[in-house]
Structure 1
Amino acid sequence: MDPELVTRARVLHVTGITPALGDGPRAAVRRAVDLARAAGVTVSLDLNYRARLWTREEAAAELTHLVTRADIVFAGPDEASLVVPEAEPATMARTLLDLGPREAVLKLGARGAVAVTRSARAVQDIVPVTAVDPIGAGDAFVAGYLAGLLDDAPLPGRLLLAATCGAFAVAVSGDWEGLPRRSELDLLLGADVTR
């Protein structure tokens, strides 16, 4: 890994899949996170738990460590329960903040999403589309949220952009084929979702 690629970035995004692949990938994720934190780069973590790759116990230990080092955490409720007690989504998100991140986002699938910071909370319904294939929706959601963050959008705007990208992803087959260009973002809502 080229340390300069990490230290010059505005955001480092990692997922729980990589450390599940073995000791080498786990060490690489930890090193990248350490480099990013030392350089003041925002660290984003999607728990992205995959039961086929490791046990809940193994995942809980490593993901808890990564949550304490992250600035932004994304998870579904089941994934979040690896790290914090089960509760309603906003409570789980707030409990994740107690571990160190400044933002926590709970992805709720067809029920939308909730995001919390130490001073704000936002709830987002799904953007209605005819769902064709759910593969890639979570990654598209996170990409939209982080794009909004990089654009300095407020919390509700980041969530709307995330939900819009997720909606584009599920509207076609494949995990990336439906991802929108910036010029296409307003096609689903008829309004500028980047503000």
Structure 2
Amino acid sequence: MTLDVATFGETMVLFSSDRLVPLEYTHQFYKQIGGAESNVAIGLARLGHQVGWFSKLGNDPFGRYIEKFIRGEGVDTSRCIYTDQAPTAVFFKEKLTPKNINVYYYRKGSAASLLRADELDETYIGSAKMLHLSGITPALSQSAKEAVYKAIEVAKAKGVKIVFDPNIRLKLWSIEEAKPVLLDLIRQADIVLPGVEEGQLITGETQPEKIVDALRAHEQQTFVVKLGAKGAYYTNSQEKGYVPGFTVEEVVDPVGAGDGFAAGVMSGLLRGWTIQEAVRLGNAIGAIVVGVSGDVEGLPYWAEVQQKLEDNGTRQDVVR
């Protein structure tokens, strides 16, 4: 099997309400899924790419639901592992207003946190053009962190491009714990996708250019700093610049927009587009995602993205 992208990490069952009330007054929930890496995988699959995602899941109804859902989106899940030693994690989303959303996680000691380096399929990872990783996985446990480092070792040995999104979750670890690990992972990556706030947390700098200067390990790295509604700043060894965001009429749910953005940037690069074009694609997808409730429900198919770009006068040549 040859993959465009391989990725792994924890995906949880998400329970959310469409009512704008505190959780204690919510009596009915919608069952969905949420996880940074699987969001990216589904986003890429909808754009027409061959993607593999895996994790360690609880041998329970929620674990089976997650795998079936992701597999149903066209993502290969053949390397998923099930365990009876721990449950699949869940989390709850509380919406007080469209811009005031709280998330409550129940993931400590979850099945995904038991993932070990010796459980990785090295041939599978080596078959991909890109390996996508996030800073969430090393925060889950020592064994999960070791799995991330093993995956990087395999990717480097096989010539697989490493894409890293810091995705800082301070509910999982403190910034003091996170910073040295994230800095190390950033310096080993080929493509880094931090949010500007994450860059500030790690470096203390506030300007995208200075954030990149503080993070860059060598000139061959590509950085794309997410700036929310303002768009993104990009830089590599050949060029740098800002790409403005797309106008969004109404923000329904901002969760998952960063993952959609990552999928767009990676899709553009896989298609052979310039970094500027790839970032523009990421911005378009992020703008689409925030208009729909749920982590993956708003991730667009290629025809929708083409329309978005065409409406903004930036339609790309799809045969490139």
The normalised TM-score by structure 2 is 0.58
Task: Using the TM superposition, give the Cα deviation of residue 4 of structure 1 relative to its aligned residue in structure 2, in angstroms.
Answer: 1.0
Deviations 1:47-85 (CA, angstroms, capped at 9, x unpaired): 000110001011101111111210011111221234434
Give the secondary-structure state (helix, strand or coil) at the position aligned to 2:288: helix
Distance 1:94 1:152, change over 3 A: farther
Structure-1 residue corresponding to 2:309: 189
| Identity level (%) | 37
Counterpart of 1:79? 198
Instruction: Compute the RMSD of aligned alpha carbons.
Output: 1.6
Whether the 8 Å contact between 2:221 and 2:236 is mirrored in structure 1 is yes
Structure 1 residues 102 and 91, CA gap change in structure 2 (3 angstroms): same
Query: Amino acid of the residue matched to residue 50 of structure 1?
Result: R
Q: Which residue of 2 aligns with 1:114?
A: 233
| Offset from partner CA, 1:77-116 (integer Å, 9 cap, x none) | 2212344341311221243224576101111111211011
Q: Secondary structure at the match of 2:223?
A: strand
Is 1:12 matched up with 2:135?
no
For structure 2, the residue ranges without an aligned partner over 5 or more in a row are 1-119
In 1, Cα distance between equivalents of 2:241 and 2:275: 7
Aligned mates of 1:81, 1:142 — CA distance in 2: 19
In structure 1, the partner of 2:281 is 161
Bigger helix fraction: 1
* Amino acid aligned to 2:216: L
1:92 aligned counterpart, secondary structure: helix
> Judging changes above 3 Å, is the alpha-carbon distance between structure 1 residues 17 and 101 closer, same or farther for their aligned structure 2 residues?
farther
| Kept after mapping to 1: 8 A contact 2:136/2:167 | yes
Match of 2:253 among 112, 121, 133: 133
| Residue 178 (structure 2) aligned to one of 59, 70, 91 | 59
Question: How far apart, in 1, do the equivalents of 2:155 and 2:201 lie?
Answer: 24
Are 1:84 and 1:92, in contact at CA under 8 Å, matched by a contact in 2? yes
TM-score by length of 1: 0.94
Deviations 1:118-161 (A, max 9, x none): 22113111111222110100000000000011111101101110
264, 267, 272: which one aligns with 1:147: 267
Query: Among residues 80, 96, 102, which one is paired with 2:221 in the alignment?
Result: 102
Aligned partner of residue 170 in structure 2, secondary structure: coil
Is the alpha carbon distance of 1:27 and 1:100 closer, same or farther for their aligned partners in structure 2, counting shifts above 3 Å? farther
Contact 2:229/2:246, CA 8 A, preserved across alignment: no
Match of 1:13, SS state, is strand
Would you say the 8 A contact 1:12–1:44 is kept in 2? yes
CA distance in 2, matches of 1:61, 1:94: 17
1:101 and 1:78, CA in 2 relative to 1: closer, same or farther beyond 3 A? Answer: farther
State the alpha-carbon separation in 2 of the partners of residues 91 and 81 from structure 1.
10
Partner of 1:41: 160
Higher relative contact order (CA 8 A, sep 6+): 2
Q: Distance in 1 between matches of 2:201 and 2:157?
A: 27
Q: Aligned with 2:132: secondary structure?
A: strand
Matched residue SS, 2:193: strand
Segments of 5+ residues of structure 1 without an aligned counterpart are none
Deviation at 1:184, TM superposition (A): 1.6
